[in-house]
Structure 1
Amino acid sequence: MMDDAPHIFMDVSRLLSRARNPIPTGIDRVEYEYVHYLLHNEAYRLTFVAFHPVGIIGTLRMQAVRDFLHMMGQVWDGDIALRDRLPRMAQRLLQSVLLSHWTMPRYRGDSVYLLVSHHHLTRPRAIETFLSRHGSLFVPMVHDLIPMEFPEYARPGEPQRHTRRMETVARLAAGVIVPAKAVARSLAPYVKGRPAEGHVHVVTHGLHLQLSQSPDGTPSRLPDDGRPYFVCLGTIEPRKNHLLLLNLWRTMAEEKGKDTPRLILVGRRGWENENVLDMLERCPALQGNVLEYNDLSDPEVVGLLQGSLGLLFPSFSEGFGLPLAEALVLGTPAICSDIPVFHEVAGADATYLDPTDGPAWRGAIDAMVAESLAHRGPARTARMNLFNWPRQVAAGIAVVDETAAFFRSDGRHGS
């Protein structure tokens, strides 16, 4: 315990807003793990807060957040019976924000407002008011700048919204956490000459601890015919480049028939994906050869990856690439796009290909199938020491403390 450690106002707005979604996204998981770690390791200097849509940020009772987090974890792990209860709990928590905003005393002492999602960065006035009221420093996490760098893959209006988010970060942040060096390079021009310049820190994401339990969670809906398969994990949207794989599988199915390995798509349907959906629903060659799962629990995804020939990840751009990290930890081979962030995650432990080079992908997939048939050996060894969430969150909290210490010594804390 550090006597001079700053108080942490941990924002849980993202988790409250996602209570109706039983399958977490990567950013959902990040906020969950930060909250879980702080509850168990830093509660002595912790206050939970959330943003209310009327434009205010208020506090939440710690026990109420603890109960909510416990139930959310159970829902993500596949407890269907709790799915209807979680949104009601989130609504009660959000309602309590209104009352706490008017009754919460000003905090006296060093404090940091920590926001590890992009949830309300488009509402800078609420953040600025909270910082001013409590004399806090602002440390957000920026996951990526993809909507600004690749607007052609974003939903309409999202590039403009993300620009506003980065303007908020540039103007108000004292320090910033990013998941990869590639994101730090993208962010650098926006914080140049701002308080956060020189205080952008790379903290790699961790992975859900349930990976270490090696669950027998392969979806029962997967045909029980022993047919080998590959997995593509991620929201079905243009940036993920599913169309490359679907075109390859159509050709393979026409050439190989029943000897074609299956392609399993795991992820919800996103936006601007009409071409992909048309192929999934109307291409005869893909029927039975490409399967789509939109609602798998964490244990099912792990079981699916463990039983696969490999992960296919042809994305054009990523802020981190959690599926690739999951494959590494499970010992599952991976073929992925040759982009800088994937090299940061996987090093020499993946096959890198141009995401537009269809023939190269086909060759690598065929080679992986042949290698699997030739070497039916013992189960792959999982490497659980990689991407440990408690260790990574501890590194993120160290950034919070370092930022507070710098501005304290500089005489600008709470100014």
Structure 2
Amino acid sequence: MAVPVAYDITRLATRVLNVTPNGIDRIDFAFARHFLGSAQQDCSAIMMTLLGPRAIPVEGARDIVDGIAVHWGEDEKPDQDESYRRIAGWIRGGGAKLVGAQRVARGRSGRAAGVFRWIGQHGFPFGRSPAAALPKGARYLNASQFPLWIPRYFRWLNQRPDVKAVFFIHDLLPIETPEYFRKAEYERHLRRLENLARFGAGAIVTTRVVKDALDRHLRTLGRTNMPILVAPIPVAPIFHRRGEADATLADHPYFVACGTIEPRKNHLMLLHVWRELVRRTGAGAPKLVLIGGRGWENENVVDLLERCGAIGNHVIEASGLSTPSLKRLLDGARALLMPSFAEGYGLPIAEALAAGAPVIASDIPVFQEIGGGGIVAVSPIDGEKWLETIQAFADPASPERLAALARAAKHKPASWKSYFASIGEFLECL
């Protein structure tokens, strides 16, 4: 029989402030939908408040999850998405020549309105402490790492040794590669792992690369026996659908890169490659669609995007795009590009392969593990090789691209049913 699960929705509730989800958001959302969306499961919700952690009614938690989906526009069709229409028109060649890259940034008006409606319907989360509210033998599950760096939010677990806490650890990159993150993130991530070692009964990761790194670090903290489940994250069902490409874009070669604009995603190299492509091939150079919001320490990238005339008609920057629109763009793209220096997983690769799209990605262990031989791997510091590979893929009938399409077609992504079955077994066995 399944054990009771208390799912933490704290971070998810704050994402009304974001116009579109990132990778952690998508995972957090999928967990919340699974554990809080079914009346068949014995589940409850936890939210961290100024009064400390509180167990809140599951009906209110479901409203939060549903409201976030609407806010992100997750069910918005491409034909209804103004951002998609603008991107498609640009790919087809519309618009005047620009000094820098065009930018499509869809905002959200009235972001706080949904919050006030929720408070009006459910009241402030003045629920009971989880130490008093959770049933015997429950599992506390946190898939967002938020706010794991603050120990006071988890001290209630000391009062309930029967409640086993499980945390999803997405990566150890702020510790392993601190140069790619805000300075404070190094110490914050150290505290996350210290609190995992202190309060956690188990951990979930997406790859063996992350498992090995986490296991090594936990040993330095005196935890040598923590169960760690390796479970590659599936993708949204929409990415499994085939044959939905935009026919009006078929004769216009373009590539897609998906991810927050931050140093480790290597956008700087990619933009230099595109400037060189335009220099060598002129107006016929393929186009690049950068999907993702602007992150941190990205001044050089922003300078290129905003002031480099050479890429003005060949690069577009888009944020706030709905998931169906992203899928439509992947369907017609020559390839997804993922030149990251370091990643904990790489959800866009899994999404592209599930959609049957070719993938050109960095030759790093995580991508080799999740790609299963389905990707074209190129060193993230070999700009000339990236340029040559992109040039080859710009021809839809090139041998290189046809081989990549065949490999993508053989990729067998995990299903959500089997994924959550393994999560459930892991929670029960603790």
Aligned residue among 283, 289, 307 for 1:264: 289
Distance across 1 between alignment mates of 2:121 and 2:189: 27
SS in structure 1 of the partner of residue 333 of structure 2: coil
Q: Which residue of 1 aligns with 2:414?
A: 387
2:426 to 388, 399, 404: 399
Give the equivalent residue in structure 2 for 1:188. 215
Of 188, 202, 208 in structure 1, the residue corresponding to residue 236 of structure 2 is 208
Distance 1:55 1:25, change over 3 A: farther
2:254 touches 2:286 (CA, 8 Å); kept in 1? yes
Shift of the 382–140 alpha-carbon distance from structure 1 to 2, 3 Å rule, reads same
Alignment CA distance shift 1:251-1:177 (3 Å): same
Please state how far the C-alpha of 1:32 moved relative to its aligned partner. Answer: 1.2
Which structure carries more relative contact order (alpha carbon 8 Å, separation 6+)? 2
1:238: how far off? 0.4
Unaligned runs of 5+ in 2: 77-107
Distance 1:341 1:101, change over 3 A: same
Partner residue of 1:162?
189
Give the match's secondary structure for 2:124.
helix
1:137 Cα offset (Å) = 1.3
SS at match of 2:61: helix
Q: In structure 2, how many angstroms separate the alpha carbons of the residues matched to 1:376 and 1:242? A: 22
Residue 382 (structure 1) shift: 6.3
Find the aligned partners of 1:85 and 1:394 in 2 and give their Cα distance.
Answer: 36
Q: Distance in 2 between matches of 1:322 and 1:103?
A: 32
- Contact persistence 1:16–1:90 (CA under 8 A): no
| Residue 70 (str. 1) matches residue 66 (str. 2) | yes
* Structure 2 equivalent of residue 171 of structure 1: 198
> Shift of residue 101 of structure 1?
2.8
Offset of residue 164 of structure 1: 0.6
| 2:115 aligned partner | 87
The answer to whether the Cα contact below 8 Å between 1:138 and 1:172 also exists between their aligned partners in 2 is yes
* DSSP 3-state at the match of 2:170: coil
Structure 1 contact 110–136 (Cα < 8 Å) conserved: yes
- How far off its partner does 1:368 sit? 1.4
Residue 353 of structure 1 aligns with which residue?
378
Tell me how far apart the structure 2 counterparts of residues 135 and 264 of structure 1 sit (CA, whole Å).
Answer: 50
Shift in CA distance, 152/200, structure 1 to aligned 2, threshold 3 Å: same
Do 1:138 and 1:173's aligned partners in 2 also have CA atoms closer than 8 Å?
Answer: yes
Match status 1:111 vs 2:108 = no
- In structure 2, give the amino acid aligned to 1:137: K
What is the identity, as a one-letter code, of the residue corresponding to 1:283?
C
Structure 1 residues 167-202: Cα deviation after superposition (integer angstroms, max 9, x where no partner): 111111111101111111111123227557240110
CA gap 1:94/1:289 in 2 versus in 1, 3 angstroms: farther
For 1:376 and 1:187, locate their aligned partners in 2 and report how far apart those are by CA, in whole Å.
Answer: 36
Quick one: distance in 2 between partners of 1:175 and 1:36?
21
**Which whole-Å deviations, capped at 9, do the CAs of 1:225-283 have from their partners, x for residues lacking one?**
94210111000000000011111110111111111000110000000000000001111
Distance 1:300-1:38 versus aligned 2 partners, 3 A rule: same
- What is the match of residue 341 of structure 1? 366
User: How much has 1:26 moved relative to structure 2?
Assistant: 1.1
Q: Distance in 2 between matches of 1:217 and 1:58?
A: 46
SS class of match (2:275): helix
Match of 2:255 in 1: 230
What is the aligned length? 394
User: Taking every aligned residue pair, what percent have the same amino acid on both sides?
Assistant: 33
CA distance, structure 1, for counterparts of residue 45 and residue 129 of structure 2: 16
Q: Distance in 2 between matches of 1:91 and 1:236?
A: 34
- The separation in 1 between residues aligned to 2:122 and 2:344, in whole angstroms, is 29
What is the CA-CA distance between 1:129 and the residue it aligns to?
1.6
DSSP 3-state at the match of 1:23:
coil
- Which residue in 2 is equivalent to 1:244? 269
Aligned-pair distance for 1:81? 8.4
Distance 1:225 1:284, change over 3 A: farther
Contact residue 392 and residue 400 of structure 2 kept, 8 A: no
CA offset at residue 391 of structure 1? 2.5
Q: Any idea what SS the aligned residue of 1:270 has?
A: coil
SS at match of 2:16: coil
CA contact (8 A) 2:334 2:393 kept: yes
What is the match of residue 329 of structure 1? 354
Q: Which residue of 1 aligns with 2:23?
A: 26
CA contact (8 A) 2:218 2:224 kept: yes
* Deviations 1:126-170 (CA, angstroms, capped at 9, x unpaired): 212245247411110100111111111001211111111111111
| Partner Cα distance (1:288, 1:206) in 2 | 35
Query: Is the Cα–Cα contact under 8 Å of residues 20 and 86 in structure 1 kept in the other structure?
Result: no
Task: Flag the 1:134–1:22 CA change in 2: closer, same or farther, 3 A.
Answer: farther
The amino acid of 1:124's aligned partner reads: P
Distance 1:224 1:354, change over 3 A: closer
2:87 aligns with none
d(CA) in 2 for partners of 1:374, 1:107? 58
Q: Which residue of 2 aligns with 1:35?
A: 32
**Partner AA of 2:231 in structure 1:** V
Larger mean Cα displacement after TM superposition, 388-397 or 280-289: 388-397
Determine if contact 1:50/1:94 at 8 Å carries over to the other structure: no
1:10 alignment partner AA:
Y
CA distance in 2, matches of 1:67, 1:149: 38
Shift in CA distance, 167/102, structure 1 to aligned 2, threshold 3 Å:
closer
Tell me, yes or no, if the aligned pair for 1:236 and 1:269 is still in contact at 8 Å: yes
Alignment check: 8 A CA contact 1:178 1:202 kept = yes
C-alpha contact 1:20 1:83 (8 A) present in aligned 2: yes
